[in-house]
């Protein structure tokens, strides 16, 4: 069984999709081979109700409670490691984690990104794609490294940008693909068809 810790900052829509996929697989008698053992956040405003309604432990580690980013990262790592995860996922987690956090968990540390990397890295990928006049963008699942969206790519998919798209409508269509990619990636890691050490090598 693949034990997964997920870190969120907001509504956790990707996390919700993953939890529902795990539940659906159990109900149909074809378990995914993965379970979310804890959900953490950098703010108490994050949607931790996704965890409490399923009896999943939660934790919040706020950056403002620590002297600096490194100290916050150490505290966050300590909380994550309490659950001895096989995989940690940054799912809409809106902070860069410090190098010590990455070194302790990678390559079993994943992130989703709303663009076809290396195109449009950073926090405003959807807006940047539209501002550039691109006709297509995408979604990517990657291993986290110490750069900004520069880690080894596990899987990605192209998404067309329609003339009538707004930033909001495009982002919603990207999220649908992101969720599917995330679920398939977790399932692949659980069943051994995705080897993170080989991808990171």
Domains of the chain plus CATH, in order, are 2-200 (3.40.50.170)
- 53-72 per-position pLDDT tens digit: 899 999 999 999 999 999 99
Q: Which residues are annotated as a binding site?
A: 12-14, 69, 94-97, 111
- Assign 138 a pLDDT band (cuts: 50, 70, 90): very high
Q: Which residues are annotated as a binding site for (6R)-10-formyltetrahydrofolate?
A: 69, 94-97, 111
| 113 noted as active-site residue | yes
- Whether the CA torsion 184, 190, 194, 195 is positive or negative: it is positive
Backbone angles phi, psi at 178, to 5 degrees: -55, -45
- Specify whether the CB–CB gap between 110 and 89 falls below 8 A: yes
3-state secondary structure 117-161: CCCCCCCCHHHHHHHCCCCEEEEEEEECCCCCCCCCEEEEEEEEC
- Cβ within 8 Å of residue 38, ≥6 positions away: 5, 6, 51, 56, 57, 58, 59, 80, 82, 83, 85
- 85-117 per-position pLDDT tens digit: 999 999 989 899 999 999 999 999 999 999 999
The residue annotated as part of the active site, out of 113, 124, 162, 171, is 113
């Amino acid at each position: 069984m693949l034990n997964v810790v997920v870190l969120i900052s907001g509504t956790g829509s990707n996390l919700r999709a993953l939890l529902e996929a795990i539940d659906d697989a159990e109900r149909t008698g074809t378990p995914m081979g993965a379970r979310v053992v804890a959900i953490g956040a950098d703010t108490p405003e994050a949607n931790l109700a996704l965890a409490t309604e399923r009896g999943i432990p939660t934790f919040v580690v706020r950056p403002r409670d620590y002297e600096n980013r490194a100290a916050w990262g150490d505290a966050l790592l300590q909380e994550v490691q309490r659950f001895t995860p096989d995989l940690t996922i940054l799912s809409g987690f809106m902070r860069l984690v410090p190098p010590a956090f990455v070194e302790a968990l990678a390559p079993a540390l994943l992130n989703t990104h709303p663009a076809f990397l290396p195109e449009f890295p950073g926090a405003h990928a959807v807006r940047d794609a539209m501002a550039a006049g691109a006709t297509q963008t995408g979604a990517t699942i990657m291993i986290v490294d110490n750069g900004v969206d520069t880690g080894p790519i596990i899987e990605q998919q192209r998404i067309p940008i329609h003339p009538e798209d707004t930033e909001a409508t495009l982002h919603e269509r990207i999220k649908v693909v992101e969720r599917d990619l995330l679920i398939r990636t977790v399932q692949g890691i659980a069943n051994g068809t995705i080897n993170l050490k080989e991808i990171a090598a």
